[in-house]
Every structure is written in C-alpha cells, then in structure tokens.
Structure 1
C-alpha cells in the first residue's frame, strides 16, 4: 500500500539559536507538537538524525533520509549561529490522517502563530506526494517536490491539502477542507 510523503519548509524570522523570547516560545511549543504528531493515527515516521549529530541540520547524518538540503529560495545562513529554517520530512498512511494531525491539537495552535515566527516568502510551505510502501523519501525529494509545486502548481507529482490526489493520480478532495484549512503558502 502506498504511503504519503510530506515535506514542510519554513524560513524563520530569527535564527534558531536566537535567545529572544519569541524563539524560546517556538522551541518550547515545537517539542510538544512533535511528540503529539508522533502519536497521531496514520503517522509512520519522520526524518531524524541517525546518530547524535552535532552542528547544523546540514551537518547531521540523516541516514536513509539522505543529505539535508533546502529550496533554492532559502538565502539565510547555514551555520549554527545563522540557520533560520524549519524543515520536516515524514511518512503517513493517508491524507486524512495527515490533515487531522496538522489541523488539530497543538499543531493547530502553533499554526495560528506561524506569522509570529515565519517569514511570508510567497513560496509553498509544504508538498505531498505518494511513495511505495518500501520507499524512504529523501530531503532532496522533498525540496524537488516543493520547488516543482511552486514552479508548476499542483499535480500528482507534488500537491497540497487543497489540491490533492489519490495514489493513482486521481484528484481527490478532503471533506471540510475549505472551512478548516488555510492555504499554507508562506
């Protein structure tokens, strides 16, 4: 059975290491959000470092998730002091499970504050695509899909909650999507 891959990417207003209150709030909420998402029905796995890596996201050993990379439009730093981004790469059983996880609970509360933390870039903040059940998507896969979504709009190759496709490439619609989910373009 196919799995749904999800890549998210956001450019932060401040570097990850910024000691200001706003970034502390972001980090504190993020830990709880990740814990809750990891227990959500339909969640399979997310990219995590393969060992106790040090340095930046760019330096970590991501194992089978591949080398960490970012979209071409990211122009901020890549050092410990200057990295100002958040990216996730995860696998889900289906679109409805991912939707429920994103738009309920702690993640929904964090979404309500996204413009406190993230820049509005004019680029999509996430992309979905289907993979075979034995495929682990890579960071490069996610970046490629997100850039494709920005450059060519939605298609079975890269899509969003608002314009989604089933594993066969047929357009599909989630119930209640218009009422519950904003279009998460940065």
Structure 2
C-alpha cells in the first residue's frame, strides 16, 4: 500500500512576528484549522516539532520529519523576527481525502483570503507524492518535490490536485 505525502509552502507578505492585524488573523485561522483538518477522514499525520517546542521553523527539532528546509527561491529571513513563510508537511490515505479537507470548512475560508497574506511568487504552493506505508517524508523531500514540480510540471514524482498521478508499486 501507499500513502500520500503533501508539502505546502507559501511566502508571507510580512514576517510571522509582525503584530499587524493581518498577521494575527493568519495565526488565529491556523490555530483553528489544524485541529479541524486532523479529524478529517483520510488524514494520517503532519509534521510537528518534537515535544511541542515553539520557535522559528529553522530552530526546531522535527524528529522523524527531518531537518527543516525551504525551497532555494525563498529569500526572506530565517530568524524569529524575519521569518515570513507558512508551510506544512502531512500524510494522507488518498487524494480525495486531502482534497475534501483542504477545500471545505475553515481551510476553505482561509484559502479565500490567501492573497491577503501570501505573496504571488510564480512557484507552486503545494506538491503531492506517494510514499510506502510507514515512510515519514522529510522537509527536504517536500522541498525537492516542490522544486521538481516547478521545473518539470506534474509527473508521478511530484504532482498537484490539477494533474494527479495514481499510486504505483513502491519498494
């Protein structure tokens, strides 16, 4: 069997530490969205810092999800004051489950506001790929797949909702 890995990456218009109302709204929506998504049928897991640590993405221990990484084209900060990104790494049973979770409920409402919070970079914002049962994808896997998608379009190696690929026998 296989599982579906999903990596999302977006560059924020302002740093996460920005006290402006738009940044607070983004934080508040995220705090409500994650618990809702984790209860959705087909959701398996998502990258969380070990021991519930708080801090910048770059400084946290992500355990089995590996060292935190970002695409080469991310050019904003890497400190608590300057980091301007939102990213996720998750596992799903199938594409339909991920689609339903992302395009319904609170996450759908947040997607409708994405241009308030995120820059339009010309790069893909998400990528899927299949992994064998029991495999935990790493942040670097997500970055590699997103960069591959940008350079080569949808392939079985890296694909999107718009051009999905069925699972193939994994070894």
Q: Same fold (TM over 0.5)?
A: yes
> Could you list the runs of 5+ residues in structure 1 that have no partner in the other structure?
170-186
Q: 1:53-112 CA deviation, whole Å, 9 max, x = no partner? A: 343100100000000000000000000000000110000000000000010000000000
- For residues 146 and 109 of structure 2, the distance between their equivalents in structure 1, rounded to whole angstroms, comes to 24
The aligned counterpart of 1:45 is 45
The aligned counterpart of 1:60 is 60
The aligned counterpart of 2:11 is 11
- For residues 51 and 67 of structure 1, the distance between their equivalents in structure 2, rounded to whole angstroms, comes to 15
- For residues 106 and 123 of structure 2, the distance between their equivalents in structure 1, rounded to whole angstroms, comes to 24
Q: 1:118-165 CA deviation, whole Å, 9 max, x = no partner? A: 000000000000000010000000000000000111100000001001
- For residues 150 and 32 of structure 2, the distance between their equivalents in structure 1, rounded to whole angstroms, comes to 30
> Could you list the runs of 5+ residues in structure 2 that have no partner in the other structure?
none
**Alpha-carbon distance, 1:51 to partner:** 2.0
- For residues 51 and 143 of structure 1, the distance between their equivalents in structure 2, rounded to whole angstroms, comes to 24
Between the two proteins, the alignment pairs up a number of residues equal to 169
Q: TM-score, normalization: structure 1?
A: 0.89
* Structure 1 vs Structure 2 CA RMSD: 1.0
- For residues 134 and 107 of structure 1, the distance between their equivalents in structure 2, rounded to whole angstroms, comes to 27
Q: TM-score, normalization: structure 2?
A: 0.97
2:157 aligned counterpart, secondary structure: coil
2:57 aligned counterpart, secondary structure: coil
**Alpha-carbon distance, 1:52 to partner:** 4.0
- For residues 72 and 53 of structure 1, the distance between their equivalents in structure 2, rounded to whole angstroms, comes to 26
**Alpha-carbon distance, 1:168 to partner:** 1.7
- For residues 27 and 88 of structure 1, the distance between their equivalents in structure 2, rounded to whole angstroms, comes to 14
Higher relative contact order (CA 8 A, sep 6+): 2
- For residues 52 and 139 of structure 1, the distance between their equivalents in structure 2, rounded to whole angstroms, comes to 17
Change in Cα spacing, 1:52 to 1:42, as seen in structure 2 (3 Å) is closer
- For residues 102 and 75 of structure 2, the distance between their equivalents in structure 1, rounded to whole angstroms, comes to 27
